[in-house]
Structure 1
């Protein structure tokens, strides 16, 4: 015969091995069933209200984890027993496994015995799998019991310690959700169109406001979104799925996160299969605001970090921009600025009175074109920063080609004498007026460099120098072009 300690250790090892079987079989079935069709479950809300056992087991959802992962109880209990040889870990593990294993079967039996076929229809799809795994918890519980049953009954201190441990476990399990009483129904007429605003993940203030809403209001908003009543009242969705099932599935999704706080791939796939009128992130904010708050705070921190990095880079580019252009003493007005181009790039030099837009002609030319009182200039980048220096003269400045890739000028009119530089679809930048001699005809000379390399990662800053001075000619003149652009 084996010594008693050896027999107990063998039984503990057997209990630990048995506790890993549900996880291993679940992984195996998941691999074998991947790509296959998933059987849907349909419920009726009217019958569901009566099934108190069904709603109670939803409240005890943390215990449901143990059906697939009983080793979370057996492993720590085994480790404590191996270190202390105390009976308390064994009795505690047996009690928890019995509670987790018998809770749903007993609640299902109560519902079916009390309410009959209506509740039986709700429990039936879960009998062969869920309830079967719950009852399997009795196997490791029985093996652990064999390690403690041969001992004498617990003393007074042992009973107190065991009772305290069990009380803590039960309080942690069901205490956090004790305010929930009955499920909330979401009828189409109760979901007002436009009443529910979908929060963006980075909208921290909105997510915080949702977290402060009463639980019932948050659940109501979640159900409205899932069924599409809020945005598609004429085409309700998921009509064959009960409200309780939707809430249970949503809360289950909230627990399936990776270490970075993002939903796992399996959770997203299951959510997509469920369907409905809500994105996972939107429903998350209403159903599990604590998870959504962590994500929103992380997103806000990322946004702040990116903004700091952008501001730092912007300040560095501004300094580089100012250093790259020498001041011209003869200019009446001049200023250097770092500007951001819009979609398509380019900018205008105009007083806003020209009926024609020369933008397409500037594209054909490759740099600049004019029509009436407007000149359009093409940039090498779009939605990116460029360095621009503007200078206003009362007479033509000397031609300076050194250091520039392309220099070209055109003629424009300035009927009001208020010609400025404008960015398309954006507010005018804070640059001075360029018509130093008042109303009349002017020449616009544009110098550019780095347009060929501005799109490269960490490439040089695209730089423009715009000189405006009086001149009657409307003839375009190309002074220099060493660019490789078409």
Structure 2
């Protein structure tokens, strides 16, 4: 590698490192960019361009582009060692293009408004904004990209035009391409339906903005979107490094715990997205294992052997929110007109709690189970009254329900699908016999429901 190339590569590394210093120490606070319109279209156009995808999904452009410069230098050096110069030039072109895409769009928008727009300085934050864009953290990566191209350029005889261009290009860069990594864009309204995610938690950058705006502290709620994204990328870098000292410093300075924000950061931070996906997949596996374990408890329990052949048999495993199954004959509830529905429901629940298993009145029944365990339910429908069986059960009770619509259903009213219809023969009056027990290991509960035609609403306890 020639001496000229080494000088350009060394300059590129130093310039990129200066961008890291500028980003750390020269970032202003409270800079607000807003109020654009037709005369200052830069922020509005930039806000619609997804340029954040480059620094989000290409970590080599982080830290002021220093990793890109080092990677380009390494590829060029290895290529020269093997007698090939093209890999070094190609890598430098690609990495320089990535740096320009990541850091050059915002300065171009700023320069456009300053040259073409009418009175756009206030839109970009006034004097402090102009100072920031001229000395901020975007100019070093752009200059480093230019140095990379110069380091890999093949020397050719220069004509007058090339000599003039060599002088003008740096001047243009210094004059019209100031650093601009801080262009927030609009302040999103973030309605409740603005967030989009798939089952594995993949989120867009807008989801990060909206989540912080809805749940963050007041200072972050007022920040424009672009500023929040800039702040989020810094949190992403801290998340990737996972340095306890740095995380503690951020928590003390900004009141934010980086690790606990993996969900919000997943839209703009690939590492956080991968960790969140792994966490959710692990939770899904644990839930599947728990579901399989609970189902085995029902499958391994001794099945009821009916003494009379039933019409139909159903087996279900259900879960209740607060330990109550409510059953009713659809269209056959005859609550007195002067009764308060809320008081009636409360009185029925109190009656079931006093009994310990069931209470029925006016066409409605409440059945109590343990809310901490799933319920292994067996339903048997009969044409006529089956023999009474009490052996092996903790409680056995029988009550009546009628239906004029041909349906009798039990369900957890807090959610979940109802149990199969108990009106096996359609419309009419039925007796419902409940059998309940808890397993010997006290880790599962079983409910056998027999339904058969019969008159009378009275509740009879066959075994207490």
Partner of 1:362: 352
Equivalent in 408, 411, 414 of residue 396 of structure 2: 408
Describe the SS at the equivalent of 2:353: helix
- CA shift, 1:45, in A, is 1.8
Counterpart Cα distance in 2 of 1:441 and 1:115: 82
Alignment of 1:83-162 (within 5 A): 83-85=78-80, 86=85, 89=89, 111-115=113-117, 117-119=119-121, 121-122=123-124, 124-133=127-136, 134-137=138-141, 153-154=155-156
Count of residue pairs the alignment pairs up = 374
Aligned to 1:180: none
Tell me the equivalent position of 1:479: 463
2:19 is the alignment partner of 1:22? yes
Residue 322 and residue 421 in structure 1: after superposition, are their counterparts in 2 closer, same or farther (change >3 A)? farther
* Aligned-partner Cα distance in 1 for 2:428–2:115: 95
Kept in 2, the 8 Å contact 1:112–1:120? The answer is no
Structure 2 residue matching 1:335: 3-state secondary structure = strand
Q: What secondary structure is seen at the aligned counterpart in 1 of 2:130?
A: helix
Shift of 1:378: 1.0
Q: Is the 8 A contact 1:341 1:386 kept in 2?
A: no
Structure 1 residue 338: Cα displacement: 0.3
TM-score (norm 1): 0.51
Asked if residue 338 in structure 1 is aligned to residue 316 in structure 2, the reply is yes
Unmatched segments (≥5 aa) in structure 2: 56-60, 159-184, 207-212, 214-221, 257-263, 336-344
C-alpha deviation, 1:464, in angstroms: 0.6
Deviation at 1:407, TM superposition (A): 1.2
**CA separation of 1:331/1:361 partners in 2, compared to 1, >3 Å: closer, same or farther?**
farther
In structure 1, C-alpha distance between the alignment counterparts of 2:31 and 2:120, rounded to whole Å: 20
Aligned residue number for residue 325 of structure 1: 303
Map Cα deviations across residues 88-142 of structure 1 (whole Å, 9 max, x no partner).
6498599879979998778756644554533465374433233214444587579
Question: Which of 329, 346, 370 is the equivalent residue of 1:380?
Answer: 370
The aligned counterpart of 1:75 is 70
Matched, 1:201 2:201: no
Q: Is the 8 A contact 1:417 1:435 kept in 2?
A: no
Spell out, residue by residue over 1:324-378, the C-alpha distance to the aligned partner (whole angstroms, 9 max, x if none). Answer: 3232132544523105345434334554534356333113332112225544211
Correspondence list, 1:87-486, <5 A? 89=89, 111-115=113-117, 117-119=119-121, 121-122=123-124, 124-133=127-136, 134-137=138-141, 153-154=155-156, 198=194, 200-202=196-198, 313=291, 317=295, 320-321=298-299, 324-333=302-311, 335-348=313-326, 350-352=328-330, 353-356=332-335, 358-381=348-371, 386-390=376-380, 392=382, 394-395=384-385, 397-402=387-392, 404=393, 406-412=394-400, 414=402, 420-425=408-413, 429-433=419-423, 442=431, 444-450=433-439, 453=442, 459-460=443-444, 462-467=445-450, 474=458, 476-477=460-461, 479-480=463-464
Cα RMSD, aligned residues only:
6.6
Alignment check: 8 A CA contact 2:398 2:461 kept: yes
Whole-Å Cα distance in 2 between the matches of residues 110 and 419 of structure 1? 72
Residues 1:127 and 1:44: Cα distance change in structure 2 (over 3 Å): same
Contact 1:333 1:392 in 2 (8 A): yes
Corresponding residue SS for 1:338 = strand
- What SS class does the counterpart of residue 71 from structure 2 fall into? helix
TM-score normalised according to structure 2 size: 0.53
1:128 is paired with a residue whose SS is: helix
In structure 2, what is the Cα distance between the partners aligned to 1:82 and 1:363?
81
1:350·1:420 contact (CA, 8 Å) conserved in 2? yes
Question: Partners in 2 of 1:413 and 1:104 — Cα distance?
Answer: 72
Report the CA distance shift for 1:395/1:385 in structure 2 as closer, same or farther (over 3 A): closer
In 2, the alpha carbon distance for the partners of 1:57 and 1:354 equals 59
The answer as to whether partners of 1:111 and 1:120 remain within 8 angstroms in 2 is no
Taking the aligned partners of 1:114 and 1:203, their CA distance within structure 2 comes to 46
Measured in 1, the distance between the counterparts of 2:403 and 2:387 equals 22
